[in-house]
Amino acid sequence: MRLHEAPSPNARRVHIFMAEKGIDCPRVTVDIRAGENIQAEYLGKNPAGRVPVLELDDGSFLAESVAICRYLDWMQPEPRLFGAPGIEAATIEMWNRRAELNFMANVAAAFRNITGFFQDRETCVKEWGEVAANAASRFVGMFDAQLAKTEYLAGDHFSIADITFVVAWDFARRVKVVPLPDAPNVARWHSLIASRPSYKAE
């Protein structure tokens, strides 16, 4: 098994997940800046042209960071990061989707459209980026209110939802295109997540 990746939020999701599970595998760096991920050879691995991609021992490829995490979870069920079947797993799914769709996707759209980072391969619309930045900013309140009630994003236990949100949060802080409002409960939660050894996984 090999992980095709580049320094990026979605690859970091898989790195943290792997560290939590105690799984490691060789890495192959994909030069996304130079567009290696949109060349024919890479598109054969992932027709969506994105990182990360997990290459399996039978020569097949698995893309989409959460799908990769699902596969790793099947390989190594403990610790349970997708929750116990039933309401726990469903609640984790709910918060993971909120972290991804309401926050991470808006942060990514803001970054891509405002900075024009990938303008060699897509049309960037600054106004759209600003709309996305404001949407990401507005959703911070939803996460802060949840974290006022629960220790981790989806309840009492660390989960994939925490991984998605911390990766997106750190990226938003680093690229500075989203105005992040004061969020004391997110700050409390961030210190908790940052104290886990997996937070430093690369």
Ligand X SMILES: N[C@@H](CCC(=O)N[C@@H](CS)C(=O)NCC(=O)O)C(=O)O
Interface residue list for ligand X (CB under 6 A): 8-10, 32, 37-38, 49-51, 64-66, 118, 121
User: C-beta of 182: minimal distance to ligand X in Å?
Assistant: 27
Q: Length of the chain in residues, anyone?
A: 202
Is the Cβ of residue 112 or residue 190 nearer to ligand X in the bound state? Answer: 112
Of residues 168 and 183, the one with the C-beta less far from ligand X: 168
Angle subtended at Cα 51 by Cα 173 and Cα 105, rounded to the nearest 5 degrees? 45
Runs of H (alpha helix) within the chain:
9-21, 40-43, 65-75, 87-97, 105-115, 126-149, 160-175, 184-194
Euclidean distance between the first and the last CA atom of the chain, given in angstroms as a whole number: 17
Q: How far is the CB of 11 from ligand X (least distance, A)?
A: 7
CB of 37 to ligand X, least distance (A): 5
Nearer to ligand X, 21 or 50 (CB): 50
Provide the CA 113 distance to its chain's centre, in angstroms: 19
For ligand X, the closer of residues 24 and 122 by Cβ is: 122
Q: Least distance from C-beta 132 to ligand X, angstroms?
A: 14
Question: Residue 173 forms beta bridges with which residues?
Answer: none
Give the nearest distance from C-beta 102 to ligand X in angstroms. 14
Task: Tell me the pairing of strands 2-5 and 53-55.
Answer: antiparallel
For the bound state, the minimum distance from the C-beta of residue 50 to ligand X, rounded and expressed in Å, comes to: 3
Nearer CB in complex with ligand X: 65/159: 65
Contact 16, 27 (CB under 8 A): no
If the CB atoms of residues 121 and 176 are measured against ligand X, the closer one turns out to be 121
d(CA 70, CA 75): 9
State how far the Cα of 96 lies from the Cα of 163, in Å rounded to an integer.
9
Tell me if 113 sits within 8 A of 164, measured CB to CB. no
